[in-house]
Amino acid sequence: MTMIEALRSAMDVKLASDPSVIIFGEDVGYFGGVFRCTAGLQARHGEERVFDTPINESAIVGLAVGMAAQGMRPCVEIQFADYVFPAYDQITQEAARLRHRSNGQFTCPLVIRMPTGGGIFGGQTHSQSPEALFTHVAGLKVVIPATPHDAKGLLIAAIEDPDPVIFLEPKRIYNGPFYGDHSGKSVPWASHDGGEVPEGHFVVPLGQARVHREGAGVTVLAYGTMVHVAEAAAAAAGVDAEIIDLRTLLPLDLETITASVQKTGRCVVVHEATRTSGFGAELIAEIQEACFWHLRAPLLRVTGWDAPYPHAQEWDYFPSPARIARALLEVGKD
């Protein structure tokens, strides 16, 4: 399956097995979503289970919070992550706090799906990576899959979770096993066969990272598209890198991270979002606290630029295999 097909399969499985699951958002019903993730689900499960909404992100999430508080399990789509900001108040002030402000009388089993990142020449308002704005909020869980297999298993786990989950989907790898090169052409993944996706129900637990590539020379922490770009970089540089696919940013699997960094003594953090106050800064702080006496070199970050998303320079903005390779070679110096 492609990632789109895997996500659709996850929603299909949950709609068929759990009558409390409901899917809605802008164009997700009749049209099947702008990226076709929900194509055919309305015809299969009916207009009361899969339906369209007005162009009003605050209303979409507010409605979902109310439904979740009353025992339903809404899985809503924000058409692009860039559009989520009108709903930020509902997410951070209502959904994230409902369990705690009610002393456990109410929960909010809500999933908010959002295509994230660049790679489709979408420009400034269709290409942002806002994950750090949600990892700062207590009460939320934040997920970013890197393979179709994990996309399906993580989405099923998210829908079944009793608390609100921000589910970010890297649109650059939506339609196939590639990460793209400087020109935007498709380039196959170096190895991991993430396209094999089981039929039916299965779960990838939230909060568990995955060792994407084993190695002993340096640890690379990445998520989403950057997992595959980092793999290409390690191969190009000839570096024995251990690549950790975080999968879930909140809760963070610090045990897997620290075990790898303590083994290698070196670490490079890669993410597509802007550098300043990006999630990489939190990762570096956690590693510094947990692994200081094991480090053999400074911790490095390879990130997007601290600039509004540059449409005309999109492929320079991304952490490229070449940029990551230089960091791997730099951190490997004795």
In a domain, 301, yes or no: yes
Other beta carbons within 10 Å of 300: 20
pLDDT of residue 178: 52
Same domain as 239, residue 154:
no
Among 144, 173, 202, residue at a domain's last position: 173
In a domain, 193, yes or no: no
Same domain as 52, residue 168:
yes
Cα(145)–Cα(154) distance, integer angstroms: 7
Among 173, 189, 218, residue at a domain's last position: 173
Pairing of strands 210-213, 141-143: unpaired
Cα(30)–Cα(251) distance, integer angstroms: 35
Residues with a known catalytic role: 126
In a domain, 179, yes or no: no
Per-residue pLDDT of the chain (334 residues; tens, 9 = 90+): 899 999 999 999 999 999 999 999 999 999 999 999 999 999 999 999 999 999 999 999 999 999 999 999 999 999 999 999 999 999 999 999 999 999 999 999 999 999 999 988 888 889 999 999 999 999 999 999 999 999 999 999 999 999 999 999 999 999 875 545 544 454 554 444 566 899 999 999 999 999 999 999 999 999 999 999 999 999 999 999 999 999 999 999 999 999 999 999 999 999 999 999 999 999 999 999 999 999 999 999 999 999 988 888 888 899 999 999 999 999 998 7
Task: Provide the domain count of the chain.
Answer: 2
Same domain as 226, residue 161:
no
Side by side, the strands of the sheet bearing 248-250 are 50-52, 21-25, 73-77, 111-116, 165-170, 141-143, 248-250
In a domain, 180, yes or no: no
Same domain as 168, residue 39:
yes
In a domain, 178, yes or no: no
Same domain as 224, residue 169:
no
pLDDT of residue 276: 97
Read off the CATH number of the domain in which 307 is found.
3.40.50.920
> pTM above the 0.85 mark?
yes
pLDDT of residue 260: 98
pLDDT of residue 309: 83
Number of H helices and E strands in the chain, helices first, is 12, 12
Burial of 232 (0-12, 13-18, 19+ CB in 10 A): buried
Same domain as 149, residue 101:
yes
Same domain as 141, residue 279:
no
Cα(58)–Cα(267) distance, integer angstroms: 39
Same domain as 321, residue 263:
yes
Among 126, 156, 173, residue at a domain's last position: 173
**CA dist list (Å): 184 to 149, 173, 178, 236:** 24, 12, 10, 18
Same domain as 252, residue 307:
yes
Q: Collect all residues with Cβ–Cβ distance below 8 Å to 79 and sequence separation of at least 6.
A: 25, 26, 27, 33, 34, 115
Same domain as 232, residue 160:
no
Give the bridge partners for 51, in sequence order: 24
Owning domain of residue 226: 210-331
Burial of 285 (0-12, 13-18, 19+ CB in 10 A): exposed
Same domain as 217, residue 164:
no
Read off the CATH number of the domain in which 110 is found.
3.40.50.970
Same domain as 137, residue 38:
yes
pLDDT of residue 191: 44
pLDDT of residue 175: 86
In a domain, 197, yes or no: no
In a domain, 35, yes or no: yes
In a domain, 184, yes or no: no
